[in-house]
Chain A
Amino acid sequence: MDPHLPWFVLLNPLLTAALIHLALRRAPAAATGLSVLSAVLGLITAIGIWFSGTPSAPIEISWIQLASLRIPIGLLVDPLSKVMLLVVTGVGALVHIYSTVYMAKDESKGRFFGNLSLFMFSMLGIVLANNFAMMFIFWELVGVSSYLLIGHWFTRDSAAAAANKAFLTNRIGDFGFMLGILLLWSASGTVVFPELAAKIGSLNLSAGFLTAAVLLVFCGAVGKSAQLPLHVWLPDAMEGPTPVSALIHAATMVAAGVYMLARISFLITLSPAAQSVIAWIGILTAVFAALLATQQDDIKRILAYSTLSQLGYMVSAIGLAAPGAAMFHLFTHAFFKALLFLGAGAIIHALHHEQNIWKMGGLAKSMRLTFLTFALGYLALIGCPGLSGFFSKDLILLAAWQQSKPVFALGLFTALLTAFYMTRLFVVVFLGQPRSAAAEHGHDGPVAMTAPLTLLALLSVVAGWPFIGHTLMGHDLAEGLHKIHAGGGAETVMSLATAAFFVGGAIALALYSKAKRDPLRIAPLQNKFYIDEIYAAFISATQDLLASVSNWIDRWILDGMLVRGLSGATWGTGFLLRFLQFGNLQAYAFLFGLGVVVLIYLMALR
């Protein structure tokens, strides 16, 4: 393979972002065109890379070379990164095209597309990085560019606050990530993935050390992939423009955590303790988020909680030593979740930024194409047999069935909940009668909006079919998938998952097809909602308590004693030292002589 191809994929969005930010901010049309062109070129190159073989020599240039630390700027092109490249550039290109319509009337379109290209650069950097240090740098860059995109409408307080929240929450996880990288480096002396993989087995590290290192690195994934307890930023991040939500908060950035875990799965398998922690955090996030999703009214928030829940599945699969299944689900999920977000965006766009599902209804008739594509995405997500989500989710559940029945039970329950809340969303939004003036004027968007929807709908259907999915995943990952399949229990799990799909869907249909006729009938459901509010209040109370405790520590111990005390003492010393400098030549000569005497005494006479 020509080593220039991956370099081009990585650097072309950077060049685009630089051009836009430096020269084209005031020329929105040119900025839009350039950004879309670069995204499409990226996709074409990624396809080219996928078809060409793996490079024989590592693609890297030397960057930092200290005695015990070698950090190259290197690109790793293997089956794993090839699949991820397809996902990122594919969804990225479609979102770029879609955005030309969605952001058409935005005042700062140039800034938006510049930041979108910057995000693509950062995300592709994570995908292609061949070492931890470089991945960490791009990891932070993704944080920065998502901050810029979530806060695109920064004049709205809620958007600015959400951007802050996302960035800060991520930083907490990243701190652990950094410590984990340092631990691994101190033990192995390398940060380059292939070298680490070759070395780590022969190091005889203690189980405790490995568990600590893996869990610290996992912290980074907890932040980026919004797992418990750092999941709080993702629902708020829906303040950003909807295409951003589709790209960042469904297909790419949040998937980066899972991707990173898959990249280091050779490490994770070394520590069974860390594996079970990861599996449990993942599945608990899945259940927790699915529960919350059943009570949301904002269409984007429902999808956000659903994303959390699906990411929980993937993380759990990593913990179950099935990185292939995790990547498979990541792959299919990227398409149908991006489709759902873009579909929701089409609705929001048509309804003049109305996001409350109870003010929609009856959109099936007025938004025909959006309805059809959304329906396919919806069915894929809830695991309708034959669609992509069914196959990938089934594999994760199967891996859980084979290794841990409690995890499997929770996973199955999540599948049921997923069918329930998505059917609720679907029924309320598309069926029945319009429940607001805006909903009566629903209409499909122009081609630049519907074409990405159609393409994504097609992918949502076929991406999971074994002969397509497994080919795309490459030999190694597909091997892992076959192994899970052959591990036994396939029929049981498949029938249970199908049952969950039907039961969850049926309950929601029974409840909400009535609710649409008479919205008051949802009153009993509101009680359930209260329980969650109490739960939320409990969380916020502990947060308040923690906040006031840490505020006290910060104000009195850190700021009062350490910061003020230290800076006061330093400044005071400096102030005193200044008096030594009295400008008198004789005194200087005397002090010089004194210094000489002291030094000679110390050196020669002592």
Chain B
Amino acid sequence: MPAPLAPLTLEIVVLLLGIVLLGFESFSKGGDRGWMARWSVAILSVVFAWSFFTTGDTGVDPSHAFYCADPLALFFKRIALLTTIIVMVISLEFRPVLEKFIPGIQPGSGTGEFFALPVFTCAGLMFMASAVDFLLIFVALELVTISFYVLVAYMRRQNASLEAGVKYLILGALSTGFLVYGITWIFGLTGETNLARITQVLPSLLAEGGRLHGSESALLFALMLLLIALGFKVAAAPLQFWVPDVYQGAPTPVTAFLSVGSKAAGFIVLARVLQTVVFLPSIAPKVLSVLGLLAVLTLLYGNLAALPQDNLKRMLAYSSIGHAGYLLVAFASIDPAAGNLYRTQTAIGFYLFGYLLMTLLSFLVMTVVSRHSRGDDIVHFNGLSKRSPFLAFGMLIAMLSLAGIPFTAGFYGKLLVFSTAIARQNFLLVSVGIITVAAGFYFYLKVVSAMYWKEPTEDQPVTASGLTKFTVAALCTAIFYFGIFPQSLLSMLPSDKAAPVAVSPAPHK
């Protein structure tokens, strides 16, 4: 059946692109590699457009598939593609800085992998979006993580980048260990690695007379190991210690990629894993309460620790922890009686899409400005409105949306997340959420005040390439468009009205 495999062609094209790029880097002479990024942007854009013509349902028996392409998976594939495209645009702006810290025979040589590896990461993220078997989850996750190890440490002559690379490698390996250990426990308990099969066998195993009856602790322990590994990927407290140092040390485009792509993929895997257990009455309350605890800690840590920061890149690192907290609120507010995760899936899908727009917009503007100002502290943004009104406006929109001002995509995402919590009457989560939103206003608007109300320290104008300007304008428009007309995005996400597809187990009341 060729039609059901159509979505897989997306990944195949992306992988081929990566291999071709890598081949060019290996077998051609050195020189400027900017064309690689531009070609990637063009081809990935075509793949992104193509994704709207692929069929959404699997047609394959879910119990035997490694791979599913339900609407949610397609949606997250688009997030991965869009992220990679914008990261490539950021990379183009970042090239001068990169070349300074790469030893090479001639300027620009040795930067090819920097444009090829993100394409592989993108393929990994797309596989993660579709993975419904622990084996594929693990392989895809490692494809992503190993590319990131290289990318984080890419600026070999800069100590900060190397240090970040080492920290990420060691702590990442630690979390991978937990993941594999968790998977083996699950396999040991159920004899399965396929999520749909696990969902099918678990109720009978836990029921009276089943092999696991009375020993839920073993299953909980396995789940906890998985939760820790995924919590590490999405930077949930208390597993977030690596984030500020790694984000600050890594090359800026890689930081942007980490904070959006890696997080989005982590959350969709978390959603798929939770779907297997969250409807089991003996398991759900504990899992949800731990998720709630993670959400509270993450919200508080991310938003409060961001307050005193005066380096923008580091502040955005903390802010990305904070946003993971809001997403966890949606997970902690899953309704076990609902029989599906549509509410949560819709909330995190919309939230992550908005988060993609505003975070990548701020990283893009930051890259341009810090190249001109030679630094990414908030003081380097002083008076940006006079040096480049356009970029300052872009940054303003990004900050307003991150803070959650109405009529931006960021606001509507928060609204959806909080409405899941209110529906479950999780008022503790809502109130912590609202307090941290208020804290968020402070540090996001600090950037705005620097740009608009402080005198510039230098006065030469900040210039950007045409592609960058176009991207900034497109992102600003999208932030407002989806903030005002959220329906166009929500219709792509699963809702109660849509027929359930792929792995959705029967509800257990």
Nearest to A598 among chain B residues (CB) is B238
A583 interfacial contact with B, CB 8 Å: yes
| Complexed CA–CA distance, A187 and B227 (Å) | 41
| Stretch from B44-52, B205-213, B217-225, B387-395 that touches the partner | B217-225
Q: Which residue of A lies closest to B237 (CB)?
A: A595
CB < 8 Å neighbour of A570 from B167, B174, B439: B439
Q: Is B75's CB within 8 Å of the partner chain A?
A: no
What is the bound-complex CA distance between A62 and B488, given in angstroms? 10
Contact B239 A603 (CB under 8 A): no
Contact check, B290 vs A603: say whether CB atoms are below 8 A apart: yes
Chain B residues with CB below 8 A from A591, complex form: 238, 241
Residue-wise, chain B 282-308 has the 8 Å CB interface mask toward A (1 for contact) of: 000011001001100000110011111
Which residues of A have CB within 8 Å of B486? 64
Known contacts A64-B486, A589-B174, A581 near B241 by CB under 8 Å:
yes
Min C-beta distance of A354 to chain B, whole Å: 42
Q: Is the CB of B170 within 8 A of A574?
A: no
Determine if B142 is an interface residue (Cβ-Cβ < 8 Å): no
Residues of A within 8 A of B241 (CB): 580-581, 588, 591-592
Q: Is the CB of B487 within 8 A of A574?
A: no
Scan residues 547-606 of chain A and give those whose CB is less than 8 A from a CB of chain B: 567, 570-571, 573-575, 577-578, 580-581, 583, 585, 588-589, 591-592, 594-596, 598-600, 602-605
Distance from A571 Cβ to chain B, minimum over Cβ atoms (Å):
5
Q: Does B101 contact A (CB under 8 A)?
A: no
Q: Is A51 an interface residue (CB 8 A)?
A: no
B278 contacts A by Cβ under 8 Å = no
Whether a CB of chain B sits under 8 angstroms from the CB of A63 is yes
- Is A65 in the interface zone, CB < 8 Å from B? yes
Q: Nearest B residue to A66 by beta-carbon distance?
A: B419
Q: A66-B419, A581-B244, A594-B238 given as contacts; is B308 within 8 A of A603 (CB)?
A: no
Closest to B442 in A: A567
Mostly, the A contact residues are helix
Chain B residue at minimal CB-CB distance from A569 = B304
Asked whether, in the complex, the Cβ of B304 is within 8 Å of the Cβ of A581, the reply is no
Expressed in whole angstroms, the minimum distance between the Cβ of B289 and any Cβ of chain A is: 8
> Is B228 in contact with chain A by the CB < 8 A criterion?
yes
Q: How many residues of B contact A (CB 8 A)?
A: 46
Contact for B290 among A62, A65, A592, A602, CB less than 8 A: A602
Name B306's contact: one of A63, A574, A588, A596 (CB within 8 Å): A574
Asked if residues A62 and B224 are in contact (CB atoms below 8 Å), the reply is no
Interchain CB contact (< 8 A) of B485 among A63, A574, A604 = A63
Chain B residues with Cβ below 8 Å from A574 are: 304-308, 439
Shortest beta-carbon distance from A30 to chain B in Å? 25
Q: What residues of chain A lie closer than 8 Å to B175, measured between beta carbons?
A: 592
The reply to whether B301 and A600 form a contact with Cβ atoms under 8 Å apart is no
Q: Does B171 contact A (CB under 8 A)?
A: yes
Chain B residues in 8 Å Cβ range of A599 = 224, 227-228, 238, 290, 294
In the complex formed, the residue of A with least CB distance to B294 is: A599
Residues of A close to B171: CB separation below 8 A? 585, 588-589, 592
A571 pairs with B307, CB closer than 8 A: yes
Also in contact, A592 and B305, with CB within 8 A (given A64-B487, A581-B244, A604-B224): no
CB neighbours (8 Å) of B170 from chain A are: 585, 589
Contact of A63 with B487 in the complex, beta carbons under 8 Å: yes
Residues of B within 8 A of A600 (CB): 221, 224-225
B290 cross-chain contacts in A, Cβ below 8 A = 599, 602-603
Task: Say whether, besides A567-B442, A571-B308, A573-B304, A604 and B238 are in contact (CB < 8 Å).
Answer: no
**Is B166 part of the contact surface with A, judged by Cβ < 8 Å?**
yes
Interface assignment of B245: CB less than 8 Å from any CB of chain A: yes
Main secondary structure of the interface of B (DSSP, over half): helix
Across the interface, name the chain B residue whose C-beta is closest to A581.
B244
Report if B279 contacts A (CB, 8 A). Answer: no
Structural contact, B224 and A603, CB atoms closer than 8 A: yes
Nearest Cβ on chain B to A281's Cβ, whole angstroms: 32
Among B225, B294, B308, B487, max chain A CB count under 10 A is at B308
Contact of A604 among B221, B305, B306, B419 (CB under 8 A): B221
B178 interface residue per 8 A CB criterion? yes
Residues from chain A with Cβ under 8 Å of B223 in the complex: 603
Q: How far is the CA of A600 from the CA of B227 in the complex (A)?
A: 10
Give CA–CA (A595, B175) in the complex, Å: 12
CA gap between A571 and B242 in the complex, in Å: 22
Q: Of B217, B242, B419, which is within 8 A of A588 by CB?
A: B242
Neighbouring A residues of B220 by C-beta, 8 Å? 603-604
Cα separation A213 to B58 with both chains bound (whole Å)? 51
Q: Return chain A residues, CB-CB under 8 Å to B304.
A: 570, 573-574, 577
CA distance in complex: A605, B290 (Å): 13
Chain A residue with the shortest CB-CB distance to B219 = A604
A495 CB to nearest B CB, Å: 56
Report yes or no: A575 in contact with B487, Cβ–Cβ below 8 A: no
- What is the CB-to-nearest-CB distance from A565 to chain B, in angstroms, rounded to a whole number? 14
B217 touches A604 (CB 8 A): yes
Residues of B within 8 A of A63 (CB): 485, 487
| Interface bits A68-99 vs B (CB < 8 Å: 1, else 0) | 00000000000000000000000000000000
Across the interface, name the chain A residue whose C-beta is closest to B217: A604
Q: In the complex, what distance in Å separates the CA atom of A598 from the CA atom of B419?
A: 30
Instruction: Name the one of A570, A583, A589, A604 contacting B307, with C-beta atoms under 8 angstroms.
Output: A570
Residues of chain B lying within 8 A (CB to CB) of residue A64? 486-487
- Per a CB cutoff under 8 Å, which of B218, B287, B419, B487 touches A65? B487
Contacts of A67 in B (CB 8 A): 419, 423
CB distance from B307 to the nearest CB of A (A): 4
In the complex formed, the residue of B with least CB distance to A570 is B439
- CB of A583 within 8 A of CB of B245, answer yes
Residues of A within 8 A of B439 (CB): 570, 574
Please measure, in the bound complex, the distance between the C-alpha atom of A517 and the C-alpha atom of B257, giving whole angstroms: 85
Chain A proximity of B237: nearest CB distance (Å) = 8
> What A residues does B287 contact at CB under 8 A?
603
Contact A595 B166 (CB under 8 A): no
* Centre residue among A63, A591, A592 by max chain B CB count within 10 A: A592
Most central of B227, B238, B301 by chain A CB within 10 Å? B238
Chain B residues closer than 8 Å to A581, beta-carbon distance: 241, 244-245, 305
With a CB–CB cut-off of 8 A, which chain B residues contact A583?
245
Chain B residues whose C-beta falls within 8 Å of the C-beta of A604 in the assembled complex:
217-218, 220-221, 224
Nearest chain A CB to B184 CB, angstrom units: 16
Smallest Cβ distance from A79 to chain B, in angstroms? 31
Q: Is the CB of B221 within 8 A of A585?
A: no
Can you name the residue of chain B whose Cβ is closest to the Cβ of A602? Answer: B290
Q: Could you tell me the distance between the alpha carbons of A603 and B285 in the complex, rounded to whole angstroms? A: 10
Residues of chain B within 8 A of A588, CB atoms compared: 167, 171, 241-242, 245
A595 and B174 alpha carbons, distance in the complex (Å) = 13
Interface digits, B237-257 against A, CB 8 Å rule (1 contact, 0 not)? 111011011000000000000
B435: which A residues are within 8 A, CB to CB?
570
* Distance from A599 Cβ to chain B, minimum over Cβ atoms (Å): 6
Contact B485 A578 (CB under 8 A): no
A62 touching B487, Cβ below 8 Å:
yes
CB contacts (< 8 Å) of B309 on chain A: these are 578
Residues on B with C-beta less than 8 A from A602 are 290, 293
Q: Which residues of A contact B218 (CB under 8 A)?
A: 604
Interface residues of B in 156-206 (CB under 8 A from A): 166-167, 170-171, 174-175, 178
Which 8 residue pairs across A and B have the least CB separation, nearest first? A595-B238, A574-B307, A577-B305, A574-B304, A604-B221, A588-B241, A604-B220, A603-B224
Pull 30 A–B residue pairs with CB atoms less than 8 Å apart, ordered by A.
A65-B487, A67-B419, A570-B442, A571-B307, A573-B300, A574-B439, A577-B301, A578-B309, A581-B244, A585-B171, A588-B167, A588-B242, A588-B245, A591-B238, A592-B238, A595-B228, A596-B228, A598-B238, A599-B238, A599-B294, A600-B221, A600-B224, A600-B225, A602-B290, A602-B293, A603-B227, A603-B287, A604-B217, A604-B221, A605-B217
- Interface on A for B, CB 8 Å cutoff? 62-67, 567, 570-571, 573-575, 577-578, 580-581, 583, 585, 588-589, 591-592, 594-596, 598-600, 602-605
Starting from the known contacts A595-B239, A596-B178, A599-B227, 4 additional A-B residue pairs (CB-CB under 8 Å) come to A583-B245, A588-B241, A591-B238, A595-B238
